Amino acid sequence: MDQEFFTTMLGTLLPLVITNIAHMIAVKRNIWPSLVIPIHEKAFGVNKTWRGVFFISIVNAPLFASMNFPYSLNMEVGFVFIFAAFGLGTGWVYGLAYALFELPNSWLKRRLGIAPGSKSVKGSFFFTLLDKTDSAFGVTLVFCLLNGFTWESFMLFFATASALHFLFSWILYLRNIKKSF
């Protein structure tokens, strides 16, 4: 992997890390309470709300665009605006992928009778692993679609995204911002 890959990976993951920390703070402080509406309570439970989908995709868009803006500084002015618009759209797509790829895991847990926010007694390792890799998988797919797919890039990006998810979930849990790890 070359330097450009690592820079692009960091430029993708860092905004998502910041967005998700902000989302956990928004949940804890009940920001945007009018959007705390379950997407589909029976299918995904009460914790998967429209606030999460909107917050993560909307907040990630300008973060992604601004953190990746320095790449556009060597462009002509008109192209800078196009790049900024592309950055907003790309950041929105990454945020949306992050939020949407959490839903199949929630759906599976509801089908198995695991209450929203609860830990599974059976298969606790499997569900912990799934909780920390589901959104990483979605973001990895989008990254590889936008930047060229190779198995090496897929595995490296997925491993990095998953490791960051584990690390920051643990930190947020220890800081009492997140209810459970």
pLDDT digits (tens, 9 = 90+) for 6-21: 999 999 999 999 999 9
Residue 33: how many other CB atoms lie within 10 Å: 10
Higher pLDDT, 78 or 160: 160
Q: What global pTM score does this model have? A: 0.88
| Percentage above 90 pLDDT, the chain | 63
Q: Nearest to residue 175, comparing CAs of 52, 24, 47, 13?
A: 24
Query: Taking a C-beta distance cutoff of 8 angstroms, is the pair 132, 74 a contact?
Result: no
Q: Average pLDDT, stretch 107-123?
A: 86
In sequence order, the 6+-apart residues with CB closer than 8 A to the CB of 132 are: 162, 165, 166, 169
| Percentage above 70 pLDDT, the chain | 91
Q: Which two tokens stand for residue 100?
A: 């949407």
Check whether 56 has a pLDDT greater than 60.
yes
Check whether 57 has a pLDDT greater than 90.
yes
Q: Average pLDDT, stretch 79-105?
A: 86
